[in-house]
Amino acid sequence: NAGVTQTPKFRILKIGQSMTLQCAQDMNHNYMYWYRQDPGMGLKLIYYSVGAGITDKGEVPNGYNVSRSTTEDFPLRLELAAPSQTSVYFCASGEQGGVDTQYFGPGTRLTVL
């Protein structure tokens, strides 16, 4: 199993550009999450999904959108990138009823200039 994969690993965007961060998992997990980690800070939840077709906002959803058309994929869309979105983005997946089994991807480092 590849676990949770994220692409790209690094990206530099100009202010106002858009992009999609890809996340895929091959563990057949229902639950998927997007977090961001700013320097010196903990991870903050952006969006999450409890199954295909179901998404909900986390703590810091502004400026982002998500979709969950399949169990495997949970892309995060940035529209009109801003410097405040410079961060490291982590995708995670987990089993229903198993908070211990939340697995994280390696992260995408995004810089908005």
Partner 1 sequence: DQQVKQNSPSLSVQEGRISILNCDYTNSMFDYFLWYKKYPAEGPTFLISISSIKDKNEDGRFTVFLNKSAKHLSLHIVPSQPGDSAVYFCAATSGGSNYKLTFGKGTLLTVNP
Write out the residues near partner 1 by the rule CB under 8 A. 4, 31, 33, 35, 40-45, 48, 50, 56, 58-59, 90, 92, 94, 98-107
Q: Which is nearer to partner 1, 62 or 100 (CB)?
A: 100
User: What is the closest distance, in whole angstroms, from the C-beta atom of residue 107 to partner 1 in the complex?
Assistant: 6
Residue 12 CA to residue 5 CA, distance in Å, equals: 19
User: What is the closest distance, in whole angstroms, from the C-beta atom of residue 102 to partner 1 in the complex?
Assistant: 7
Q: Which is nearer to partner 1, 3 or 16 (CB)?
A: 3
Question: 85 φ, ψ to 5°?
Answer: -90, 5
Q: Which is nearer to partner 1, 17 or 109 (CB)?
A: 109
User: What is the closest distance, in whole angstroms, from the C-beta atom of residue 74 to partner 1 in the complex?
Assistant: 14
Residue 40 CA to residue 2 CA, distance in Å, equals: 29
Q: Which is nearer to partner 1, 8 or 98 (CB)?
A: 98
